[in-house]
Amino acid sequence: MKTLIWLAVAVLLPVWKSHADDPTTTTPTPDHSWDFRGCTDGVAVVDDHSTLAALLDGTACSPEGVVFSSPGAFVDLDPWTWGGEASFEVLVQVDSLASAAWRIFEFGAESTGANVFLGGASFGVYRGTVENVASTADLGFWALASSAGFVHVVTTVSLAGQLQLYKNGSLAMETDGNWGQVYELSVPAAGADWDIYSDVPYSVDRCEAITAKSFSRIAYELTLDTRTIWVEFDTITTDACETGIPTDWTFDQTVMGLTVVDSAGILDATDATGYIEFWSHSYSATATSGRPGGSSDLFDFDDTPGQVDKHGSFQVHSLTGTLFAFNGWSSEDPDGVDDPEDLGIGSNLDPDLGLGPDWTEAYNAGDFTIRLLKVYVGSLASPATVARSANWLGRSSAGNFFSGSIAYLRIWHGAALSAVEALRLFELRGSCQPGFYGSGGSCNACGAGTFSAAAGAASCEACGEGHTSPPGATSCEAVSRPPDHAFDFRGCSEDPAVGDGSGSALVATLAGGAACSPSGVLLDGVSAHVDFGTAWTGASALGGSLSLELFLRPGDNGAAAAGSARVLEFSDTAGANAM
């Protein structure tokens, strides 16, 4: 059998370990950080972790931070695209409480429906037409500099929309990111004639207690005997009372963020698109909305409403079929006989039942013993992922300005910091963050080839031998050191000999029938070998610590089995061998 060899020779590198390997010395590293302590008037402050700049407009610099004392003074940050879970840290001093409308920061004007802000009255997130706000106005959250000095604040927003505010290391307020029930209704088998809100016999009705704009998701849970379907989507209204049976309002539209959980496992979906047809009207099958696949012959997800309070449609659809439907709840039968209501989960596939897949005139509600509808609203999700044009410190979109000082602003994307992390940041307030060093309120980035693993470092440590780092690093990385000699036989030719890829005059001569191939040199285990010559002197001399790297495929022959064969051997007449 033949043997394939690729050879490299390298000097052994020492082992080095960063102090950052000790988790007890680390703190969360932000994605963005603007440190205004010791800034220069009129000179932009650049993000420590990117090229984003903070332009100072009318503000003044001090050793403690940027000062907002002149009318209309603010800081304008370069825009960037972000969204989702996030955390914000500020060290701030408040000089005036004259107006609660001021902002420490505001990203995205309120009118855009995609802003995040912290100010005199609240920390909040707007998404679309809804808002999620945690109030700071009634907690004595802010205090004048004369009594409080600098206040350390960490704010977080989770993917579920839960807001948390930490003041000086302690949790000061949080909002509930879970679902809250609005309605519960036992659907009648027949006899419903609901034309106004008060006609609907809800067994649970909490809509008046839910603050407008406090939710961003609506969910419907319908149970018909042993099958239950949960359907949720982005809100279609800011009024929780308009999430129930639509006696006095109409929603005929596309819905986004559609998520479905079907106990039968048939209709499940995540973050999809769908349609709703909510109205009290009579309706025809005529397709007028331009929804792909809509039929004008069958009642489905593209019907046309007619006279108000004449039939009633409470239907949610995917792009291809019905998810659930409850029809006929706003009609008084002209013959005085109460027809059963229409009720179903999934599309109606029985051509002999009703007039189409949306269960219209199926008259089947009496077929179910359990008919229970529950309605929920959920708190605001995390901030929308967009590039916000307004990114300000000390200014609100309404034109209100902050009076005080900001030492620094730090932002984490994709993370809602924990209570432990918020406390740790408070303990390190005023200190330089990992990757920086300094004292007396002045912080500087560690230079290339140095690092600081923990916050509060007075100086940076040098990287060990064979390691390096970029500026502002919290640890060092090993440098891939090239070998002193390298012979690559892949694709070689028998003549001329293979030269040293590291530039020396050494050559590897194929002898005894050694052959080249695209994969490397082939040795037959009999006489074929590679001769590296005798010129290993001077800078090429071998001795001391060595590392040898080979890439090979062993063959199968008697000599190798006996242990006398060599993959590699360097020797001389004095018996100084390496093999």
**Overall average pLDDT of the 167-189 stretch:** 86
**Secondary structure of 236-264 as H, E, C letters:** CCCCHHHHCCCCCCCEEEEEEEEEEEECC
**Where does residue 428 fall: left (phi above 0), alpha (psi -120 to 50 degrees), or beta otherwise?**
alpha
**Overall average pLDDT of the 268-281 stretch:** 93
pLDDT tens, 463-477?
A: 988 888 888 788 888
Residue 23 has pLDDT above 60, yes or no: no
- Report whether the peptide linkage leading into residue 305 is cis, meaning its omega lies within 30 degrees of zero: no
The CA-based dihedral angle spanning residues 278, 281, 286, 291, taken in that order and rounded to the nearest 10 degrees: -20
- Which pLDDT band, with edges at 50, 70 and 90, does 131 fall under? low
pLDDT tens, 95-124?
A: 877 666 788 999 986 566 678 988 877 787
pLDDT for res 226: 96
**Overall average pLDDT of the 118-146 stretch:** 66
**Overall average pLDDT of the 417-430 stretch:** 90
pLDDT for res 163: 86
| pLDDT averaged over every residue in the chain | 83
Distance CA(355)–CA(357), nearest Å, equals 7
- Which pLDDT band, with edges at 50, 70 and 90, does 3 fall under? very low
- Which pLDDT band, with edges at 50, 70 and 90, does 304 fall under? very high
pLDDT for res 422: 93
pLDDT tens, 356-412?
A: 999 999 999 999 999 999 999 986 567 878 888 899 999 988 888 999 999 999 999
Strand pairing of 53-57 and 283-284?
A: unpaired
Residue-wise DSSP of 302-362: S-EE-STTSS-EEEEEESSSEEEEEE-TB---TTS--PBPEEEES----TTSSSSTT-TT-
Q: What percent of the chain has pLDDT over 70?
A: 82
pLDDT for res 279: 96
> For 100, which DSSP code?
T
pLDDT for res 53: 94
pLDDT for res 281: 94
Other Cβ atoms closer than 10 A to 164: 23
**Where does residue 575 fall: left (phi above 0), alpha (psi -120 to 50 degrees), or beta otherwise?**
left
Instruction: Give pTM, 2 decimals.
Output: 0.50
